[in-house]
C-alpha cells in the first residue's frame, strides 16, 4: 500500500476486530496527503463514543471526511487533491445504503457499480476496509442474510477491480490478490 506515483486500489478484508483499520492506518502514516473517508454515523451513544475515539487515534495531518452515503462523489472529489484515500469502511456504507435504499437490491447494486467506476477514475491510491462476513454463521433474520449477501456482493465487485486484496486475521495480512509487477 504505497502512496507513490503508482495508483493502486487495495481492499482490506477481515472479521470484526481483526485489525483491518489499524493495519491500514499504520501503513499509511507518513504517506503524504491522506484523506480518511469515514462512513459511520453516530446514531447512538456507543457509536458516537466509538467515532470520537477513532477521530482521536488518527494522525493529526490527515483530512477526515464523514460520508455515510455519497462515497462515489466524494472519492472523485478527492482525486488529485490527496496522495492516498482511506475508506473505512464499506461494511457501514453498505448498511447505510440498505437503510437509504429501503433494502432494494437493484438500487444498491447500481450504487456499488458506480462506486467501482469512481475507483477506476480516481488518480491516487485508495485503500478500502471492509468486513468479510461470509465465513461466519448464517444470520438468523431475513435482513441479516440480505446484508451478508449485499456486502458479499460489494466486496466481490471491489475485489475484482482492486490491484491488491488482503485478508486480515488476528492483525496479520494474508495476500489474496496482488497484481503488482513486483508482487510486494
What is the C-alpha separation between 7 and 163, in angstroms, rounded? 9
What is the C-alpha separation between 79 and 90, in angstroms, rounded? 18
**Considering only CA atoms, which of 153, 98, 94, 164 is closest in space to residue 126?**
164
Q: Which fold has domain 9-176?
A: Rossmann fold (3.40.50)
Residue predicted with more confidence, 184 or 14: 14
The pairs formed by 140-148 with CB atoms below 8 angstroms and a separation of 24 or more are 143/98, 143/103, 146/98, 146/103, 146/105, 147/94, 147/95, 147/98
pLDDT of 124 reads: 96
Cα 142 versus chain centre, distance: 24
Which of the four pLDDT bands, split at 50, 70 and 90, describes residue 5?
low
Which residues are catalytically annotated? 54
What is the C-alpha separation between 43 and 180, in angstroms, rounded? 40
SS3 of residue 39 by DSSP: coil
71-119 pLDDT, tens digit per residue, is 999 999 999 999 999 999 999 999 999 999 999 999 999 999 999 999 9
20-49 pLDDT, tens digit per residue, is 999 999 999 888 999 999 999 988 999 999
What is the C-alpha separation between 55 and 139, in angstroms, rounded? 31
Mean of pLDDT values over 125-138: 92
Region of 30 (left: φ > 0; alpha: ψ -120 to 50; beta: rest) is left
Domain limits of the chain?
9-176
Grid cell, residue 66, equals: 464523514
Amino acid at each position: 500500500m504505497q502512496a507513490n506515483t503508482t495508483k493502486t486500489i487495495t481492499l482490506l478484508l477481515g472479521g470484526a476486530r481483526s485489525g483491518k483499520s489499524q493495519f491500514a492506518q499504520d501503513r499509511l502514516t507518513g504517506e503524504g496527503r491522506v484523506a480518511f473517508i469515514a462512513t459511520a454515523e453516530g446514531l447512538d451513544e456507543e457509536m458516537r463514543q466509538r467515532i470520537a475515539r477513532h477521530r482521536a487515534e488518527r494522525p493529526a495531518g490527515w483530512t477526515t471526511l464523514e460520508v455515510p452515503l455519497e462515497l462515489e462523489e466524494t472519492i472523485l472529489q478527492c482525486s488529485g487533491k490527496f496522495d492516498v484515500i482511506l475508506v473505512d469502511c464499506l461494511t457501514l456504507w453498505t448498511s447505510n445504503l440498505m437503510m437509504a435504499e429501503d433494502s432494494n437490491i437493484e438500487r444498491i447494486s447500481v450504487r456499488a457499480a458506480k462506486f467501482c467506476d469512481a475507483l477506476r477514475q480516481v488518480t491516487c491510491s485508495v485503500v478500502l476496509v471492509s468486513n468479510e462476513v461470509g465465513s461466519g454463521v448464517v444470520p438468523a433474520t431475513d435482513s441479516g442474510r440480505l446484508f451478508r449477501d449485499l456486502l458479499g456482493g460489494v466486496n466481490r465487485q471491489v475485489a475484482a477491480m482492486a490491484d491488491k486484496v488482503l485478508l486480515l486475521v488476528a492483525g496479520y495480512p494474508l495476500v489474496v490478490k496482488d497484481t503488482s509487477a513486483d508482487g510486494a
